[in-house]
Amino acid sequence: MLELGALSEEVMPALCTVCGKQRRVANNVSHSNIKTKSIQRPNLRRVHVKMNGTAMHIRVCTRCLRSGKVVKAA
């Protein structure tokens, strides 16, 4: 699990707090094989979870939610 204090409050990167999944750089390839850069971002959700006895909001990818790595707070 990543440190929550390591992330700055001003800039929120597209980063999953649990697994560390972040953006990927890829190429759009046209029919004529011209390549242009594109960015693939993870599917993140802002979830209310209970960690270390305190309830807080974190950004979690849907794969971590689906696999049960995160338990939502009631």
For residues 45, 46, 47, 50, the Cα torsion angle rounded to the nearest 10 degrees is 130
Domains in the chain (CATH in brackets) are 1-74 (2.30.170.40)
**What is d(CA 28, CA 42) in angstroms, rounded to the nearest whole number?**
17
**What is d(CA 6, CA 66) in angstroms, rounded to the nearest whole number?**
25
Yes or no: say if 61 and 40 are a contact pair by the CB < 8 Å rule. Answer: no
pTM of the model: 0.69
pLDDT digits (tens, 9 = 90+) for 5-59: 555 456 678 999 999 999 999 999 999 999 999 999 999 999 999 888 889 999 9
